[in-house]
Amino acid sequence: MRRALNLATALIVAGTLCSARDLAFVTCQTGDAVSVLDITAGEEIARWSVPGKPAGIAVSETAVFTVAADSKTVRKHDLLSGEPLVSVQLDGGPIGLTHDTARGHLFVSDWYNARIWVLDDTSLQVVAELAVGAAPAGLALSDDGRYLASADRDADQVSIFDAETLRLRTRLEAGSRPFGLRFAPDGRLFVGNVGSNDVTVIDALNSEVLAAVPVGARPYGVAFAGGRAFVTNQYEDSLSVIDLATLEPMAKLETGEYPEGVDATADGTRIVVANWFDNTVTIFDAESLSVIEEIDTCDGPRAFGTFLLEEAE
């Protein structure tokens, strides 16, 4: 029945893609699924079956990539139907991922073996492995494609690589238990430390730690819009807002229960937060910081990675 629903909703998704709307592809770990949400219309428009407890996500203009941790499976999905185009089972503990579209690489962190797999994004075959610190979780690629960063949780550090050569540039100390991370539009790297309840700010170009900014309990994901950083706090059911110019905390916004993945729309007007225990996403106005609406998802939304996509008309 679910497969029939996928095929039927493919046309709906295709119509949405042609109208320049924002779509969210939200991995639901306990639901073994991905919820496809039309953020503009405020509704779920498709639900894809993804066995194996998916959590990690990376979205490009041509495909959606997921990591199902329990089955150790990485999948490349058709953007419209959600059908797996190709999949691979890896022999460690795949968890986080990020996509380098320009070079055709998909990076996947291995929680158990202190490495990053470099996959060909067409075949999903392993083309290289990069050594990192213990228990790597989140991965991020800088907006200019220059740097790849890994949050090495049990090493309390961040590893930064040259994305072109895949050579290690530097390893820098973060706070306690870094987990999620993302590059800001100005190139600085923001790292959420779930153990020390702060965000480490890093100058990747000069390999320098710039600041540690206090946030809420157990910060998980980071996104940016309107000159601000937005950080989900799992244990506080909140979203911390940081001024990018001053690195001063500005506000804490109430979210659903146990917020995890967070991303910004392409125009920078909205912030979308996945609430794991509420089976919802909360959409905030990035300027006024008010809640626009909530949308129901499948069971256990994680959305660990970049999960929003805007398609041009």
* Residue 313: predicted pLDDT: 54
Written as six digits, the tokens of 80 are 């419209």
We report the CATH number of the domain holding residue 219 as 2.130.10.10
pLDDT score for 16: 42
Q: One-letter amino acid identity for 264?
A: A
286, pLDDT greater than 80 = yes
96 touches 305 (CB < 8 A): yes
> Above 90 in pLDDT, residue 3?
no
Q: What are phi and psi of 5, to 5 degrees?
A: -65, -40
Question: What is the rounded average pLDDT of the residues 37-54?
Answer: 97
pLDDT of res. 62: 87
Instruction: Give me the residues paired with residue 83 across strands.
Output: none
Q: What digits encode the pLDDT tens for the residues 112-147?
A: 999 999 999 999 999 999 999 999 999 999 999 999
Structural domains of the chain, count: 1
Q: Is the CB of residue 223 less than 8 Å from the CB of residue 249? A: no
Contact yes or no for 264/308 (Cβ under 8 A): yes
Q: Is the dihedral of CA 190, 180, 114, 25 positive or negative?
A: negative
Range of the domain at 253: 2-310
Largest separation between any pair of C-alpha atoms in the chain: 54
pLDDT tens-digit readout, 204-259: 999 999 999 999 999 999 999 999 999 999 999 999 999 999 999 999 999 999 99
d(C-alpha 123, C-alpha 112), whole Å? 24
